[in-house]
Amino acid sequence: MPRANEIETRTFISEQNYINITASFLRADSHLEFFDVANYYIDDASFTLESNKCYLRIRNEKNTLELTLKKYISDSECVEISDNISETDFSLITESHILPAGEVSDALSEMGLNKLTFIKVGEMQTKRLELEREDYKIILDSNKYNEKSDYNLEVEAIDKELASTTLERLAEEYHFKISKNYKSKYQRAVHS
């Protein structure tokens, strides 16, 4: 799969905001459906990837497994490199600590990080609703991890300004405050 720059802005929202916004979106578009996402976070025991401002995630979404390396450029922008993987590859990574050949492995090789002993360091289960527009996508998540739960809203857009203004418009329309201390899903699943 190709490399992609991901530009997003995110905030925590309350359970009531989550209920109100998802209900509003579902009323406006009856074709929208919730779906489940499972994220498994991979690093070594010393968190070498994290110390290099990147992380590995295996995502199971709609019965498709995807291995993604996220390399952060800034708080709101990262480069994503992804490979579709099989159930066998998933087992090799989580049980035998072996990455399958592909763009993710190649990118880690370029960074000198492909020989780490990879282990699963965290997990998050998410119920998701997505609303796609031409230049942006709104993502509403109900998350469960480490016997905790929370709700977040993300806006992915073609540029940082559009992501920010869309989030601000939603905050005004649905009466929520934009989080100043948002922690990534990786941080919550791995370090909470």
Q: Can you give the pTM of this predicted structure?
A: 0.91
| C-beta separation of 25 from 110 below 8 A | no
Would you list the DSSP string of 84-102?
A: EE-HHHHHHHHHH--PPSS
Structure tokens at 165: 């203004």
| C-beta separation of 67 from 104 below 8 A | yes
| C-beta separation of 17 from 24 below 8 A | no
DSSP 8-state secondary structure symbol assigned to residue 73 = S
The residues near 13 (Cβ < 8 Å, ≥ 6 apart) are 21, 151, 152, 153, 176
pLDDT digits (tens, 9 = 90+) for 20-50: 999 999 999 999 999 999 999 999 999 999 9
* Distance (Å, whole) CA 43 – CA 122: 9
pLDDT of res. 77: 76
pLDDT of res. 110: 94
* Distance (Å, whole) CA 192 – CA 180: 18
The segments of the chain whose pLDDT lies below 50 read 1
Pairing state of beta strands 35-43 and 119-132?
Answer: antiparallel
pLDDT of res. 1: 47
